Amino acid sequence: MNNIKFELSMAWKKAASKPGELKIFSPNELDPSFAARTFMHALIETYGSHGISQNGPQLENDIAAGNVKPWIVTRSDTPIACAALVKQPDGTVEIGRAVSLEPGTGAGKIAMLTAALSAGTSPLVAEIRLAKTFAGIPGGEATQRICHGILGLTIHAIVPPFRHGRHPDTQTQYNAVFGLAAENVQIIDSSPLSTANQAISTRIDSSTPVKNMQLMQVNPFRIAVPVDSGINIKDFQRESRFGDPGCTMTALEANDQNLSTIAWLMAHDFVLSGVDRNLGENGLPVLLLATLAHGTMLAPTKASGTLPQQLRADILHISSQFNQLVERS
């Protein structure tokens, strides 16, 4: 906590060295409509077409209901950075919706750290951009340094679920690799991949039949879980790889009954990407696997040098596997 407050004070000093009066507005000082419009403008200016920016009314409703709590930094009464705490179903709060129109001035750090300090007893989680600068979209190294280095969040999975930016010629959207991160999650040697692999290696293959899959979510990316009924796994894999461009993720607890299904998916273009922040019903790690459909474009990845060496190696390895899927498309 003291480190966060120190970093916040340093960010204020840096940002205040630029011309113009600097202020920050908290959720109880912001009109939901104004806050939603401000976030929308900043997200579009920075990332172009963005999943959140395409649904302004929903964002405004979420702010009004208290499900999204916004902070906005202004300079000379002009918004220059924002961040939010987003309530999650499991009781955590996501530090997200973060964007700065003044990169490198400390304004974005002020918004993020002020929001984080207001989380109270709710554990923090984040979806950390691991992309390098591409197609006019800024890289995610600053966010990596803040979330991991200052807030102490642990990356537990490396996946490419969200789309940012467009190819200048085809206008096709890019999928970008993100690190799913959380407080109080146990990861072996800072390695999501080692953690996932160990969860599998400690189980005994019961040679149970491969399960069917059920889609639980289709936007902004597809999520599926194993079920006894549902979609035949071969049809599910075919749709995931040859359907509409984008990412499909699966979540399977590492128990004996799921081992055959996990092995089948890994042998058919699903990349082992880490673990969920929560354990499964049997108290075992939940493995996250993901794939990309043919025609998907993947943004280039860059891990901050401030991240642990083994985590950087995982990011490089998993990103390379996703790139191979795209190249085979």
Q: What DSSP assignment string belongs to 49-61?
A: S-TGGG-HHHHHH
Q: What is the pTM of this model?
A: 0.94
If asked whether residues 9 and 127 sit together in one domain, one would say yes
Please tell me whether residues 149 and 272 are part of one structural domain: no
CA–CA distances in Å: residue 185 to residues 126, 191, 222, 276: 12, 12, 24, 9
Domain tally for the chain? 2
Higher pLDDT pick, 24 / 48: 24
Q: In terms of domains, do 129 and 210 share one?
A: no
Q: How confident is the model at residue 273 (pLDDT cuts 50, 70, 90)?
A: very high
Structure tokens at 68: 């999204």
DSSP label at 149? I
Domain that holds residue 290: 190-327
Q: Both 250 and 156 in a single domain?
A: no
Residue 261 and residue 149 in one domain: no
What's the mean pLDDT in 235-253?
Answer: 96
**CA 91, 88, 311, 259 torsion: positive or negative?**
positive
DSSP string covering 190-224, please?
A: G-HHHHHHHHHHTS----PPPPEEEEEE-SSSEEE
Cβ neighbours, 10 Å, residue 273: 26
Q: Above pLDDT 90, what percent of the chain?
A: 82
Q: Is the pLDDT of residue 119 over 90?
A: yes
Residues 253 and 305 in one domain: yes
Domain final residue, candidates 163, 184, 205 = 184
Q: Which of 129, 157, 184 is the last residue of a domain?
A: 184
Is residue 329 very low, low, confident or very high in pLDDT (cuts 50, 70, 90)?
A: low
Domain end (from 184, 213, 245): 184
Beta-strand pair 222-227/247-253: parallel
- Which run of H or of E encompasses 5? helix 2-16
pLDDT category of residue 205 using cuts at 50, 70 and 90: low
Cis-peptide, bond into residue 160, ω within 30° of zero:
no
CA torsion through residues 133, 134, 136, 137, sign: negative
Q: Specify whether 7 is located in the same domain as 118.
A: yes
**Ramachandran sector of residue 184 (left: φ over 0; alpha: ψ -120 to 50; beta: rest):** left
Give the 3-state secondary structure of residue 285.
coil
Whether residues 233 and 305 share a domain: the answer is yes
